[in-house]
Amino acid sequence: MRLGAMARPRFLLTALAAWAIVAPLAGCRKEPTRPEWKLTWQDEFDGPAGQSPAAANWGYDLGTGGGGWGNNELEFYTARPENVSLDGAGHLVITARKEPYLQGTEYTSARINTRGLFEQDRGRFEARLKLPSGQGLWPAFWLLGADFAATGWPSCGEIDIMECRGQEPAIVHGSAHGPGYSGGSALTGQYTLPKAGFDQDFHLFAVEWSTDRITYLVDGIAYKAIERKDVPASSAWVFTHPFFIILNVAVGGNYVGPPDDTTIFPQTMLVDYVRVYAVGP
């Protein structure tokens, strides 16, 4: 997510590299079938419509952030149910709206995170999502190094599990940011959905993160692996400590550009679940 104003917020794989992880089928809720995986954290977003996400699991980033969260984004992030709440059908809904709001902003949305509530070093992080679409929409599911306040960005590290440019609804990107390989120089890959777009149905986005490798997956298909050896020789592999989870929908910003007359609001990202695993037992 190219970080932002939290500072600038947006597995052992040697033998495991060839593991095939079976993705949940549409409508099913089951864990990956490998016995080595151990579920360590989850949110299934069960609850009544209009309820805020569980305070034990999620906090909020609020406001516009410095320089539009470091990316010249246009939204004001809120904690209002109008921008982030359960739908009563087992989903979290993050809604981007076009509306006059505080500090002269014209859009609202939400960004939630597990900072100080849940953080993990390595493992499998996954979320089943249905994405918004349209020029200037920027949904993301990502991880940020828990030490960002002390070390700053990008030294804390950032793992973008899923980013989508709303004007390209059939393409998602997975990236890793660190010192010497951040922003436009991030280590990155992309996956194109063979048919339709990610705004038409739910899809499973995941990373499997080991000591020396981060593998990016869509619906169980591994499309990119970033390894320690890929980091520039003068830089450091910083994915050696706990990270926390972030979900958000940005509006505008350097990565996607502003909305235009073709962009329809409101736009929603539906989150069926978020689950995290470590290597068992």
Q: Please give the positions annotated as active site.
A: 158, 163
SS3 29: coil
Phi, psi for residue 272 in degrees, rounded to 5: -75, -45
Q: In terms of DSSP bridges, do strands 213-218 and 92-98 run parallel, antiparallel, or are they unpaired?
A: unpaired
The helix (run of H) or strand (run of E) holding residue 161 is strand 158-163
Distance CA 155, CA 145 (A): 8
Distance CA 8, CA 120 (A): 21
136 near 160, Cβ under 8 Å?
no
The helix (run of H) or strand (run of E) holding residue 276 is strand 267-279
Alpha helices in 47-112 (DSSP H): none
